[in-house]
Amino acid sequence: MTPLKIAVAGASGRMGRMLIEAIQNADDAVLAGALDLPGSPGLGSDAASFLGKPANVPIESDFAKGLADAEFLIDFTRPEGTLKHLEYCAAHGIKMIIGTTGFDEAGKAAIAAAAQKTAVVFAPNMSVGVNVTLKLLQMAAKSFSHGYDIEIIEAHHRHKVDAPSGTALKMGEVIAESIGRDLKDVAVYAREGVTGERDPSSIGFATIRGGDIVGDHTVLFAGIGERIEITHKSSSRLSYAHGSLRAARFLADKKTGLFDMQAVLGLE
């Protein structure tokens, strides 16, 4: 079987390194390129040198060099970087797995448009556990739509730059859709001062940032006399990297189209 030729953007980042390690350990994939920003200290060095086993793949900032041998680009960077990579990949038929979070509506629309030219998996959380949790939430929300207050609490490491997390927002969207609300109308992202009583139709978000927390998400359904909590905790980024490889395998026979991890995992 021909191995999947996968390049990694943000090669020196937390997820970039985890992805390179997962690719190097996979039987059916090879590291085919690595990108980082101009000026990044790792440029020119071997992308797998941190593993003590070189891949003979230098980290490049030039897309044409970094993506010359790639069929897939896995991108966990920042929205502005992902959108530049996407433009190049759409023009060159390179399939993309996008894990970056924090896109605005225009960014999401650009991803949907690019997916008409190349195949894309785009998901705020690539782990199997979170995606199964989304299904549980869809089911639970229907039973707790009246008489229960819905709050989403997430905690991440001190370096995370976007809030609430993409996963928390996705959880909010899934819950809202499941009970016939629009998250745009009911989301409450901050409370301070004299806020008044809680609007029963609202979905609240609370964000914690600290230390090296990989990623915790809890959805609280608080009723009278009881409360239900559905929690997912990540203890390693490997689950995101393994999910990304599953996404690449899923895209292998696709030419175009926009997919999420629910589709990859057969949870739709």
Ligand X SMILES: O=C(O)C1=N[C@H](C(=O)O)C[C@H](O)C1
Ligand Y SMILES: NC(=O)C1=CN([C@@H]2O[C@H](COP(=O)(O)OP(=O)(O)OC[C@H]3O[C@@H](n4cnc5c(N)ncnc54)[C@H](OP(=O)(O)O)[C@@H]3O)[C@@H](O)[C@H]2O)C=CC1
**Distance of alpha carbon 120 from alpha carbon 259, whole angstroms:** 6
Per CB under 6 A, the segment of 21-29, 88-96, 160-168, 193-201 that binds ligand X is 160-168
Contact between 8 and 99 under an 8 Å Cβ cutoff? The reply is no
Partner from ligand Y, ligand X, none contacting 76, C-beta within 5 to 8 A by type: ligand Y
Contact segment (CB under 6 A) with ligand Y among 63-71, 117-125, 147-155, 217-225 equals 117-125
CB of 241 to ligand Y, least distance (A): 9
Binder of residue 100, out of ligand X, ligand Y, none (CB less than 5 to 8 A by kind): ligand Y
| Cβ atoms of 4 and 72 closer than 8 Å | yes
Q: Is 124 in the site for ligand Y (CB under 6 A)?
A: yes
* Nearest-10 crossing angle of helices 14-25, 238-251: 60
Kindly compute the dihedral angle of the four CA atoms of residues 262, 263, 264, 266, in this order, to the nearest 10 degrees: 80
13 lines the binding site for ligand X (CB under 6 A): no
Which of 17, 156, 181, 242 is the binder for ligand X (CB under 6 A)?
156
Q: Segment contacting ligand X (CB under 6 A): 2-10, 26-34, 165-173, 257-265?
A: 165-173
The reply to whether 232 belongs to the active site is: no
Tokens matching residue 266: 């057969």
- The entry of ligand X, ligand Y, none near residue 118 (CB within 5 to 8 angstroms by kind) is none
77 is in an annotated binding site: no
Q: Tokens 């390049």: give the residue.
A: 7
Active-site residue, selected from the candidate residues 85, 95, 160, 232: 160
* Closest CB to ligand Y among residues 221, 240: 240
Distance CA(20)–CA(48), nearest Å, equals: 7
Q: Does 62 bind ligand Y (CB under 6 A)?
A: no
Measure Cα distances from 264 to 5, 97, 132, 241 in Å.
19, 11, 12, 14
Q: Is residue 166 close enough to count as binding ligand X by CB under 6 A?
A: yes
Task: Kindly tell me which of 94 and 241 has the beta carbon lying closer to ligand X.
Answer: 241
Catalytic residue set:
156, 160
Residues found near ligand X in the complex (CB under 6 A): 101, 124-125, 156, 160, 165-167, 215
